[in-house]
Amino acid sequence: MSAPILEVRDLHTQFFTDDGVVQAVNGVSFDLHEGESLGIVGESGCGKSMTALSIMGLVPEPGRVTAGQIRFRGEDLLRMRAEDVREMRGRDLAMIFQDPLSSLNPVLKNGFQIEEAILAHRDLPRRQAMERAIGLLRKVRVQAPEARARDYPFQLSGGMRQRTMIAMGLANDPAMLIADEPTTALDVTVQAQILELLRDLNRELNTAIIMITHNLGVVAGLCSRVIVMYAGQIVEEGSVDEIFERPQHPYTWSLLRSVPRIDALRHERLRSIEGLPPDLMSPPRGCRFHPRCPFRVDRCFSEEPPLEAFGEGRRAACWVTMETAYAEMGAADLVDVRPGAGSGVHGVTEKRVG
């Protein structure tokens, strides 16, 4: 595999609120390779969006990146001048957001907004910028791009708005695109179209994509590698197949189990993960997942498990990996739990260990 274009090392992002310090991102490290599509999954508030905003240098007040490195093509963004980072945003790194309607300026025409994203980094005559904007709209498969460029955002459908946002993101052929829940605000059929578009763009333009989502189906469809985050930390990493077939962290396992399945037996109840994500102002001692973990052992209460590498590109932070848990439960082999796979873990009876 090619050299990573993005290396995040031991990233810490904290929010200094009046009530105390919130550790939104706590020691996150990962690589992103050229042209790769990486998924970051986790519940709301697990730090996935803040990781993205830290990379973009857009952490909102009163937050701040307090430690770590974010190396883009070898250069640490955290040590660069703010003006240089601003120059890179939109040119080398781009980001698209969850709600395309609120991400577009309501009083400016779509074409003009794409044009602006182009002109922020290039010295082009307005007409050429507009031509490029229309070309981008065509590239993201907006029909009649000339007419849509003259529309205001409120005149477009949700899917077209998100396509417009993607066109803005691609305005300057960035090396990587961070997509923060880009399909959450869209309905399912449109979601599928947008994902397909992102997948094709990823292949055709070789743009690396970081897909931030809580939707495992999205990850399965788009990404080759997945990072699972919980309470500001990475708890597991691996290829999509590995994560879905052999999840090692109980949190990943629980996430997979809480995906509604069309082939589930009628009497099976949809399982949710009990409890709430921890308060990041005072995270629990030991493993951060232990209050909600069905497999916890004594050690989990006091000692924090390190994120350990095992096997090809696999990492997990758990004292009781799922392999151990299954062995102790005496359950059958781990089964494929991808949506659409033959049978899932739904059938496994829940047992407590430890």
Partner 1 sequence: MATVATVDELIAAPVARAQVGLWQDAWRRLRRNRLALVSAGYLAVLAVIALVGIVYTPYPYAHEGVGLPYSGPGPGHLLGTDQAGRDIFSRIMIGAQISLIVGLATQAVVLTVGVPLGLMAGYFKGWIDTALSFVINVFYGIPDILVAMILIVIIGKPGLGTIIIAIAATRWMDMARLTRGQTLSLREREFVEASRSSGGRPAKILFGHLLPNALGPIIVQATLGIPAAILFEAFLSFLGLGVPPPTPSWGSMAADGIHAMRIAPHIVLAPAIGLSITLMAFNFLGDGLRDALDPRQRR
Where does this chain bind partner 1 (CB under 8 A)?
Answer: 56, 58, 61, 86-91, 94-97, 99, 102-108, 116-117, 120-121, 143-144, 146-147, 150-152, 155, 165, 168-169, 171
Shortest distance, position 317 Cβ to partner 1, whole Å: 30
Shortest distance, position 117 Cβ to partner 1, whole Å: 4
CB 63 within 8 A of CB 14: yes
- Cβ closest to partner 1, residue 33 vs residue 91: 91
- Cβ closest to partner 1, residue 156 vs residue 243: 156
Six-digit token string for 246: 């052999």
**CA distances from residue 17 to 2, 8, 14, 64 in whole angstroms, order as listed:** 41, 25, 9, 11
Shortest distance, position 161 Cβ to partner 1, whole Å: 11
Residue type, 11: L
What is the C-alpha separation between 313 and 281, in angstroms, rounded? Answer: 31
Nearest to 6 by CA among 55, 40, 48: 55
- Cβ closest to partner 1, residue 97 vs residue 319: 97
Nearest to 307 by CA among 321, 291, 293, 297: 321
- Cβ closest to partner 1, residue 160 vs residue 273: 160
Shortest distance, position 24 Cβ to partner 1, whole Å: 16
- Cβ closest to partner 1, residue 103 vs residue 213: 103
Q: What is the CA radius of gyration of the chain?
A: 21
**CA distances from residue 47 to 144, 198, 212, 257 in whole angstroms, order as listed:** 39, 23, 10, 21
- Cβ closest to partner 1, residue 116 vs residue 336: 116
Nearest to 238 by CA among 251, 224, 218: 224
Shortest distance, position 154 Cβ to partner 1, whole Å: 9
Shortest distance, position 138 Cβ to partner 1, whole Å: 10
